[in-house]
Structure 1
Amino acid sequence: MRTSTVFGLLFAAFASVTTAASAQPGRGPSPVAKNMQALPVDPAPSYVRKDAPTDPIILKLWEEGMQRSHAGSLAQALLDSVGPRLTGSPNMNRAQDWLLATYKQFGVSARKEQYGTWNSWKRGAAFAQLTAPRVKALEINMLSWSGNTAGKWTEGDVVIVKPYQSPEEFAAWLPSVKGKILLASAPRLTCRPASQMAEFAMPSTQASLDSMQRDLSATYQGVTQRVPTFYRDVKAAGAVAVFESNYSQYPGVNKIFGSPRNAALPTFDVGCEDYGMLFRLAQNKQGPKVRVMAESEALGDKPVFNVIAEIKGATKPDEYVALSAHFDSWEGHSGATDNATGSITMMEALRILHAVYPKPSRTILVGHWSGEEQGLNGSGSFTADHPEVIKGLQFAFNQDNGTGRVVSTGPGLHPENGPRLAQYMGQMPSQLTQYIRLSGPSGIGSGSDDASFRCWGAPAVGLGALNWDYSNSTWHTNRDAFDKIIVDDLKHNATLTAMFVYLASEDAEKSSRVLVDPIPGGRPGQVITVPSCAKPQRDATQYRR
């Protein structure tokens, strides 16, 4: 059998696996305390059913979501074939076209809505090689919006950026950068994970390394931002490229960002080990030289869009249940857990609903937001532009923190909605709800798109996922790829979301708008009683990342 055939069969099995426990909805298996975080051992809340659901629509949603899931195949197509989705980039446009085409296959209406413009940038190939004092290919990742080398290999001596403290110091150092590749961040003294250091290092060794690392990091923290025109100035002075390294606590894992500020010259993130090597070579005056090649294209300001999919309400079309997940990503890899998982969860939930319950009472819409990574700009623009949605919103359900199954939710700003969510969960199969713990009210927030609804005082709910060490291993990293997705959990979350949306759509009563008082989350000493919204950035002129 050909290797490709074997792989295809393996993927099919991986993407569509259904456990015995998911075959019939009912009282789920009692968790076994093997993993204290994944499997709760406290008594099940009262909303966890002890018998099978009785609502025939809930049963059909379960069957459609768990037995005929598209979640794995949708994720594979998006992540492997389409790839990362940088705001304003041609690949984001391609991904949004994929959304529209896929919704059309589902029989669901979807559209693009422009909310502004952004710096459009096209990624090409990038390479870097140490040429002296020895030859070695370097592990690099070109940062988003990086400049290019005009299609040529360019070589330069590697030097460490002077940790200047004033514009005058910077100006005095600037002439020395001509023909140089600049190291602009502190290296890690060890690229071993913290778990190994804790297990094996002598306490004195750990203390010494920690102290030296703190001093080194403080010296170079923000060195490229102490002069706002750093990148333009070093480019004008003849620098070849800028290297930095943003280690993320695991070997081989770095966080990859970028900014339109980088457009002046080629800018790279370098793997932890290679960056440390370059820094030591330069520090010890051992003559490091590197040659680089970077292909990219700055395309100027281009329109940016959200994608909105919708099933019109049959009896209450002016009331809404919203599914929310940002679709844009950084480009270190393909943006799997941030936030293709949230996007696929909402997309698959709408597919399930359309297949089972195509005529809901309230209008159901999905917002696939752009510009979240630059400050919630897509969702913030949508809520500002659609006061009718805010006015008629029953609930918004947002997901944006990784691949794990949903284990927490809460009423957000509206305490009276907590019992309502518990009532919804009481109608669902225990296989979905036994892992979920309902929290109390919370503040407006700022880290994801539910904040764009909450800031208007609208009821928005975050669906919190099991951690999977998201912050260190996949969030914004060069390892955020399809293989990090847990397809069973994705199926679980899409089915759960479909049930939440169905029950919210058919609820005879409107959700509460009574705010928690005071609203949690202000600055120390600040009392917030009325939510307010920041103005979204609809172009990149004021973007300061």
Structure 2
Amino acid sequence: MKLPEFTQFKVKHIALITLTAGLWMNTAHGQRFQRPEPKLDPMVEKIIAEAKGNSQLENLAFELLDVVGPRLVGTPGMTKANEWALKTFEKWGIPAKNQQFGEWHGWERGISHIDMTHPRTKSIAGTQLAWSPTTKGKAIEAEVITLPEIKDSLGFRQWLPNVKGKYVMISMPQPTGRPDANWKEYATPESLAKMQSNRDSLNRAWASRIRATGLSPNSIPSVLEDAGAVGILTSYWSMEFGANKIFGARSHKVPSLDISLEDYGILYRLAEKGYAPKIKVETSSKHLGNVPSFNTIAEIKGSQFPNEYVILSAHLDSWEGGSGATDNGTGTIAMMEVARVLKQVLPNPKRTILIGLWGSEEQGLNGSRSFVLDNPDVIEKTQAVFNLDNGTGRVANISGSGFVHAYDFMGRWLSAVPREYTKDIKTDFPGSPGSGGSDHVSFVAAGVPGFMLSSLSWDYGSATWHTNLDTYDKLVFDDLLHNVILTAVLTYKASEEPQLVNREKRLLPAGPDGNPGTWPAIRQPRRSGVGY
């Protein structure tokens, strides 16, 4: 997924409600009044008792993150995750199926051994990028060189023969491995300003170096491999201690490797100062041809309105630098646990509750977009979609996604949740429809009230979002339990609503060009692909 929407949150629409302990504040009208403590709905009491007394969150996290592991589309890990989810739902007595929506180039990660062999011996911290070509299990030793400072694309073409038989570094070396917060806490103002100025200068110089090649950054790897390079070295630092973002390879014939910040820096400094460093690389990933891509769909059948739906939404796939813990293992296990709790205490809801664990979200919301197009009858009769997908924190923000009456029906449903779980939530009604970022927007584009349950940061953007540090140890189970209770109560209330809610859309403000705002269009998914 992209960075969470709440990081871009701005209060600029018709109404803003802040839920505080014992208070509802309507800032649009300047009113503040005491909300009396309501008597708790007996079903809400049962939801809380089941969620707290029999929580399966830690076991689900262990099984998904430690046993299954990362879930890159097209890999055996994703297949195992679909199968695991299916068996888990069926164990709980919740019918489920894996619905194929497309296929993807298959790839299976193998070992990544990277060692510096000259001018000294050192094990290098790094890994293959997703879908990277392989050394076929052979150890390939070669010199490491950097992209040169050249005048223009002609100079780049004249230099290009130098890459033959070499590993080529194509990322800017970072001047510091300390995150900005660390500098701000300990550095003198003068030292901080000096570092930031130095980094800005390096960024400008590196951007100029890339432009001079006449190529886009994504095109450079294939040009280098065609010229005879034996491998591509990158380092995509995430501005946090020890964190690198791990995405997909842009090479097609030789391995692409992400190297940790400091090991990349060592190699870069040695190469720039004439020491001709060498590394030995051995990788053994496998390319598996095209493999099917699935959404896992589970169902708690409605008793009164079986053909009307409330959808619990989370994407099951992940990048695979870590184990996909906070993106989106947290959303997956929380929504699965919501389903388990509701099956225990509300086995016959009025409306059908669907649980959609989407595939290939990371490549463009492909699973949820496919579901929207492939299931028009469901889309026509969906009451609401609740989506979890930005980390391990407690839900802190909910937008009305541009639906005029969200203030009314979401307000009623939130009122049923004990204030312990809503007191710190900020809501923006009616808000605006999202144009990307996570799976709820697939439904919003189709006119379905879809709501991103946006979480507290826990340094998600820098520490775990698509990084090698997105692992089990970053989970905060108390916050996940909080989200399970909140989502379960919202789902219960949405399922029991007497009628389908009003889907009227707000008129969107004009854009910077002065043209009227338009509702996001339904976008076609990618139903087949390689890499990105």
TM-score normalised by L of structure 2: 0.90
**Are 1:243 and 2:200 matched, yes or no?**
no
Match of 1:500, SS state, is helix
Q: Hey, what does 2:147 align to over in structure 1?
A: 161
2-structure distance, mates of 1:462, 1:182: 41
**Are 1:443 and 2:433 matched, yes or no?**
yes
Q: Hey, what does 1:474 align to over in structure 2?
A: 464
Unaligned stretches of 5+ residues in structure 2: 1-17, 26-32
Match of 2:407, SS state, is helix
Preserved CA contact (<8 Å) 1:163 1:219? no
1-structure distance, mates of 2:270, 2:364: 38
> Once the two structures are superposed, what CA deviation does each residue of 1:184-212 show, in whole Å capped at 9, x if it has no partner?
10011011121222233344433333233
Q: Which amino acid is 1:340 matched to?
A: G
**Are 1:290 and 2:275 matched, yes or no?**
no
Preserved CA contact (<8 Å) 2:293 2:359? yes
Q: Which residue, out of 55, 59, 63, partners 1:73?
A: 59
Correspondences of 1:6-17 after superposition (within 5 Å): none
1-structure distance, mates of 2:42, 2:22: 28
Q: Displacement, 1:449?
A: 0.6
Q: Hey, what does 1:504 align to over in structure 2?
A: 494
**Are 1:101 and 2:90 matched, yes or no?**
no
Q: Displacement, 1:339?
A: 0.4
CA distance 1:528–1:111, change in 2 (3 Å)? same
Measured on the aligned residues, the alpha-carbon RMSD in Å equals 2.3
Q: Which amino acid is 1:106 matched to?
A: W
Preserved CA contact (<8 Å) 2:433 2:520? no
Q: Displacement, 1:310?
A: 0.8
Bigger Cα displacement from structure 2, 347-356 vs 221-230: 221-230
Match of 2:502, SS state, is coil
> Once the two structures are superposed, what CA deviation does each residue of 1:270-303 show, in whole Å capped at 9, x if it has no partner?
1111111111111111121111111101112211
Bigger Cα displacement from structure 2, 419-428 vs 45-54: 45-54
> Once the two structures are superposed, what CA deviation does each residue of 1:446-500 show, in whole Å capped at 9, x if it has no partner?
0111110011111101101111111011111111111111111111111211111
Preserved CA contact (<8 Å) 2:145 2:276? no
> Once the two structures are superposed, what CA deviation does each residue of 1:131-185 show, in whole Å capped at 9, x if it has no partner?
1111111110211011111111111111002366765444322211111111110
Unaligned stretches of 5+ residues in structure 1: 1-38
Q: Which amino acid is 2:290 matched to?
A: D
Q: Displacement, 1:65?
A: 0.9
Q: Which residue, out of 232, 240, 246, partners 2:222?
A: 232
Q: Which amino acid is 1:290 matched to?
A: I
**Are 1:45 and 2:31 matched, yes or no?**
no
Correspondences of 1:242-391 after superposition (within 5 Å): 242-259=232-249, 261-391=250-380
Q: Displacement, 1:226?
A: 2.1
Give the percent of matched residue pairs that are identical in Structure 1 and Structure 2: 41
2-structure distance, mates of 1:217, 1:147: 29
Q: Hey, what does 1:124 align to over in structure 2?
A: 110
1-structure distance, mates of 2:411, 2:140: 61
Preserved CA contact (<8 Å) 1:383 1:452? yes
Match of 1:439, SS state, is strand
Q: Which amino acid is 2:415 matched to?
A: G
1-structure distance, mates of 2:134, 2:407: 52
Match of 2:202, SS state, is helix
Q: Which residue, out of 128, 147, 150, partners 1:142?
A: 128
2-structure distance, mates of 1:529, 1:178: 51
Q: Which amino acid is 1:233 matched to?
A: V
Q: Displacement, 1:443?
A: 2.1
**Are 1:58 and 2:44 matched, yes or no?**
yes
CA distance 1:170–1:113, change in 2 (3 Å)? farther
Q: Displacement, 1:386?
A: 1.0
Match of 1:124, SS state, is coil
2-structure distance, mates of 1:220, 1:267: 20
Preserved CA contact (<8 Å) 1:329 1:338? yes
CA distance 1:189–1:407, change in 2 (3 Å)? same
1-structure distance, mates of 2:466, 2:121: 30
Q: Displacement, 1:426?
A: 1.4
2-structure distance, mates of 1:339, 1:67: 24
Match of 1:45, SS state, is strand
Q: Which amino acid is 1:288 matched to?
A: P
Match of 2:284, SS state, is strand
Preserved CA contact (<8 Å) 1:413 1:516? yes
Q: Displacement, 1:501?
A: 0.6
Q: Which residue, out of 522, 527, 531, partners 1:538?
A: 527
TM-score normalised by L of structure 1: 0.88
Q: Which residue, out of 176, 180, 184, partners 1:190?
A: 176
Q: Displacement, 1:229?
A: 4.9
1-structure distance, mates of 2:171, 2:389: 29
Aligned residue pairs, count: 503
Q: Hey, what does 1:28 align to over in structure 2?
A: none
